[in-house]
């Protein structure tokens, strides 16, 4: 059983599993966002969690003090995602029946005094938060490792946990993509959201039905591409950034033979059976063409499709193209992951001469 879970947890298998689970969660969000579902998943999850925690290797990973915040955020996100789906499902049902969302009911629009209503809530939250932090600080001492030593590097050298999703992306991308361009795109994309999403519905209340594209896109990026990768980077990556199952001991001698091949090597050596051309542009021409098709031709092609036309009709050309470029930037990660697993493909464009690998 533990072997099976270790085997399933490998990103090669767990990433598709998580993506499929996400698809079902969003498709059947009214089932997922019900109290019954929450009750039964809690009943099912409790013994599984206890069983997981009985394993010494698993316990060693999750009880490492600096990993405690990730445990906390996993629990909070699971709960709050369920809760948001629950509220959205309720509102969507009401909207279908021609009623207003719960937040728009007259009794919820009624104005109340800030003193004492809001001030009291804030005070309670502050006290609760203080108690939580003090207890956390007493139970878990802040770790302090050996003094800094520039001549001896720990293995693995990990960034702070909130950057581990990016560090995990280093497996699939060059640092300039994983560390600079994609995080930059995330930030620009986040800031651009309100200017791209011109749908006036769903302002100020939970709903999925009235803004499906925004919800699917954001939640996929947030839960699968961000949180899931952080969890993998924290809990499942050991020495040499090699994958370790949740029940596996971090053995420094675990050797994984991995040999990844660039697209140009596939093209020239394998398929055409000729030596690599010395002209670097010619060498990478297939990758360059594919990238150009992905970035330039694909957006235009999608614009001609039914969905593309609908988006353009609602938001206009410029918004559509910004939107589609951001979406393609986001989907480049799962595409690259799948290509790596299926074909051991390293880079689509490999120009180490210019430090430009894609």
Partner 1 sequence: MAKRGVVDYIRETQVWKSIFRHGPPTNARNRAAVVAGNVFLHLHPIKLKKSGVQLGYTWCMGGLTFFIFLALTVTGVLLMFYYRPTAEYAYNDIIALKEHVPLGIMREIHRWGAHAMVITVWLHMFRVFMTGSYKPPREFNWGVGVILLVLTLLLSFTGYLLPWDQLAIWAIAVGSNMAKATPFLGHGGPGAALAQIGDFVMVSDKNDVRFQLLAGRFVGEPALLRFYILHCVFIPLVVGVLIAVHFWRVRKDGGISAPL
Nearer to partner 1, 45 or 72 (CB): 72
CB nearer partner 1, residue 73 or residue 285 = 73
Q: Which residues in 206-225 contact partner 1 (CB under 8 A)?
A: 206-207, 211, 214-215, 218, 222
Q: Is 195 in the site for partner 1 (CB under 8 A)?
A: yes
Owner of token pair 């660039």: 262
Closest CA relative to residue 69, chosen from 253, 290, 230, 258: 230
User: Residues in contact with partner 1, total (CB under 8 A)?
Assistant: 96
List all residues 6 or more positions away from 37 whose beta carbon is below 8 Å from its beta carbon: 31, 82
User: Least distance in Å: CB of 244 to partner 1?
Assistant: 19
Q: How far apart are CA 240 and CA 6, in angstroms?
A: 18
Q: How far, in Å, CA of 194 to CA of 200, rounded? A: 10
Q: Between residues 41 and 130, which has the closer beta carbon with respect to partner 1?
A: 130
* Paired residues of 243 in beta bridges: 237
Rounded CA gap, 119 and 117, in Å?
6
Do 323 and 315 contact (CB within 8 A), yes or no? yes
Q: CA–CA distance from 328 to each of 74, 182, 227, 306 (Å)?
A: 27, 11, 20, 18
One of 200, 272, 304, 306 touching partner 1 (CB under 8 A): 200
Given candidates 113, 253, 259, 281, which one binds partner 1 under the rule CB under 8 A? 113
Token pair for residue 100? 């207003």
Least Å distance between CB 258 and partner 1? Answer: 21
Instruction: Name the residue among 331, 291, 337 with its Cα closest to residue 173.
Output: 337
Say whether residue 129 binds partner 1 (CB under 8 A).
yes
Instruction: Please report how close the Cβ of residue 277 comes to partner 1 at its closest, in angstroms.
Output: 20
User: Should residue 96 be labelled a site residue for partner 1 when binding is judged by CB under 8 A?
Assistant: no
For residue 67, the 8-state DSSP code is: G
Between residue 319 and residue 338, which ones bind partner 1 under the rule CB under 8 A? none
Binding residues for partner 1 restricted to 172-191, rule: CB under 8 A: 174-176, 178-181, 187, 190-191
Task: Select the span of 6-14, 28-36, 201-209, 327-335 touching partner 1 (CB under 8 A).
Answer: 201-209
Q: Is 255 in the site for partner 1 (CB under 8 A)?
A: no
- State the nearest-atom distance from the C-beta of 275 to partner 1, in Å: 25
133-172 positions binding partner 1, by CB under 8 A? 133-134, 136-138, 140-150, 152-154, 157-163, 166-167
| Distance from C-alpha of 336 to C-alpha of 328, rounded to nearest angstrom | 12
Least distance to partner 1, CB of residue 4, Å: 32
Q: Is the Cβ–Cβ distance between 15 and 247 less than 8 Å?
A: no
Q: Does residue 75 bind partner 1 (CB under 8 A)?
A: no
**Residue whose C-alpha is closest to residue 225's, from 10, 40, 68, 18:** 18
Nearer to partner 1, 87 or 283 (CB): 87
Please, which residue, 190 or 301, has the CB nearer to partner 1? 190
234 binds partner 1 (CB under 8 A): no
Q: Alpha-carbon distance 346 to 340, whole Å?
A: 6
């Amino acid at each position: 059983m533990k072997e099976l879970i270790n085997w399933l947890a490998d990103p090669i298998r767990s990433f598709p599993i998580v993506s499929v689970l996400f698809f079902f969660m969003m498709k059947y969000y009214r089932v997922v966002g019900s109290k019954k579902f929450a009750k039964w998943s809690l009943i099912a999850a409790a013994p599984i969690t206890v069983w997981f925690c009985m394993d010494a290797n698993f316990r060693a990973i999750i009880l490492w003090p600096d990993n405690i915040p990730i445990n906390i955020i996993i629990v909070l996100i699971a709960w709050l995602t369920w809760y948001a789906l629950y509220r959205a499902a309720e509102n969507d049902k009401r909207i279908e029946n021609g009623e207003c969302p719960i937040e728009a009911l007259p009794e919820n629009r009624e104005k109340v005094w800030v003193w004492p209503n809001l001030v009291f809530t804030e005070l309670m939250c502050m006290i609760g938060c203080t108690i939580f932090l003090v207890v956390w600080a007493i139970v878990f001492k802040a770790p302090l490792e050996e003094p800094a030593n520039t001549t001896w590097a720990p293995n693995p050298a990990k960034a702070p946990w909130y950057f581990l999703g990016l560090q995990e992306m280093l497996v699939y991308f060059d640092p300039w993509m994983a560390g600079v361009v994609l995080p930059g795109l995330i930030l620009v994309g986040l800031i651009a959201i309100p200017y791209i999403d011109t749908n006036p519905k769903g302002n100020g209340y939970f709903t999925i039905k009235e803004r499906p594209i925004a919800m699917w896109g954001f939640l996929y990026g947030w839960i699968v591409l961000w949180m899931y990768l952080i969890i993998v980077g924290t809990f499942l990556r050991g020495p040499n950034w090699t994958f370790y199952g949740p029940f596996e001991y971090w053995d420094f001698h675990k050797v994984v033979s991995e040999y990844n091949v660039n697209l140009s090597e596939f093209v020239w050596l394998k398929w055409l059976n000729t030596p690599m051309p010395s002209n670097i542009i010619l060498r990478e021409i297939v990758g360059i063409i594919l990238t150009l098709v992905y970035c330039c031709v694909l957006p235009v092609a999608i614009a001609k499709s039914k969905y593309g036309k609908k988006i353009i009709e609602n938001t206009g050309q410029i918004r559509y193209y910004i939107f589609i470029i951001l979406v393609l930037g986001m989907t480049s990660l799962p595409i690259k992951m799948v290509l790596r697993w299926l074909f051991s493909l390293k880079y689509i464009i490999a120009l180490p001469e210019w430090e430009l690998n894609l």
